[in-house]
Amino acid sequence: MSPLIKTSTLRVLFSSRLPVLASSSNNKFRPFCYPYSVSHKAEPKKMAAERALPQIFQYVDQNVESYKNLLKEAVAIPSVSSDAKHRDDCVRMVEWMKEKLKEVGATTELRDIGFQTLEGKQVKLPPVLVGVLGNDTNKNTICIYGHLDVQPALKSDGWASEPFELVERDGKLFGRGSTDDKGPVLGWLHAINAYKNVGSELPVNLKFVFECMEESSSQGLDELLMEKLKPEGFFDTVDYVCISDNYWLGTTKPCITYGLRGISYYFLEIECAKMDLHSGVFGGTVHEAMSDLIYLMDKLVDKDGKILITDIYKSVAPLLETEKQLYNTIDFDPEAYRKSIDAYKLPHNAVKEQLLMHRWRYPSLSLHGIEGAHYQTGAKTVIPGKVVGKFSIRIVPNQEPEEVEKLVFDYINKKWAERGSPNKMSISAQSGRAWTEDPDHPHYQAAARATKLIYQTEPDMSREGGSIPVTITLQEASGKNVLLLPMGAGDDMAHSQNEKINVRNYIEGIKLFAAYLYEVGKLPK
H-assigned helices in 16-85: 45-61, 64-75
Size of the site for ligand L7UNP4BN (CB under 6 A): 14
Measured distance between the N- and C-terminal CA atoms of the chain, rounded to whole angstroms? 46
Is 245 a binding residue for ligand L7UNP4BN by CB under 6 A? The answer is yes
The site string for ligand L7UNP4BN over 408-447 (x = CB under 6 A, - otherwise) reads: ----------------------------------------
Run of H or E including 291: helix 289-297
CB of 383 to Zn ion, least distance (A): 34
Is 180 a binding residue for ligand L7UNP4BN by CB under 6 A? The answer is yes
Is 235 a binding residue for ligand L7UNP4BN by CB under 6 A? The answer is no
**301 SS3 class:** strand
- For residue 150, give the DSSP letter: B
Is 499 a binding residue for Zn ion by CB under 5 A? The answer is no
Is 180 a binding residue for Zn ion by CB under 5 A? The answer is yes
Q: Is 381 annotated as a binding residue?
A: yes
**30 SS3 class:** strand
Q: Report how far residue 415's alpha carbon sits from residue 368's, in angstroms, rounded to the nearest whole number.
A: 20
Annotated catalytic residues are 149, 214
Is 140 a binding residue for ligand L7UNP4BN by CB under 6 A? The answer is no
20 burial (CB, 10 Å; 0-12 / 13-18 / 19+) is middle
CB of 81 to ligand L7UNP4BN, least distance (A): 9
Query: Which residues, in sequence order, are CB contacts of 60 under 8 Å at separation 6+?
Result: 67, 190, 194, 507, 510, 511, 514
- The residue within the footprint of ligand L7UNP4BN, chosen from 66, 193, 244, 246 (CB under 6 A), is 246
Is 35 a binding residue for ligand L7UNP4BN by CB under 6 A? The answer is no
- Give 67-108 as a DSSP string: HHHHHHHHHTS--BTT-GGGHHHHHHHHHHHHHHHHHTT-EE
CB atoms within 10 A of CB 339: 11
Which span (190-198, 209-217, 375-383, 473-481) binds ligand L7UNP4BN, by CB under 6 A? 209-217
The three-state DSSP-derived secondary structure of 379-404 is CCCEECCEEEEEEEEEECCCCCHHHH
- The residue within the footprint of ligand L7UNP4BN, chosen from 141, 436, 467, 473 (CB under 6 A), is 467
CB of 75 to ligand L7UNP4BN, least distance (A): 15
Q: Smallest Cα–Cα separation from 480: which of 523, 437, 522?
A: 437
CB nearer Zn ion, residue 127 or residue 177: 177
Is 466 a binding residue for ligand L7UNP4BN by CB under 6 A? The answer is yes
Annotated binding site for Mn(2+): 147, 180, 215, 245, 495
- Chain residues that interact with ligand L7UNP4BN, rule: CB under 6 A: 180-181, 214-215, 217, 245-246, 263, 265, 466-469, 494
- Chain residues that interact with Zn ion, rule: CB under 5 A: 180-181, 245
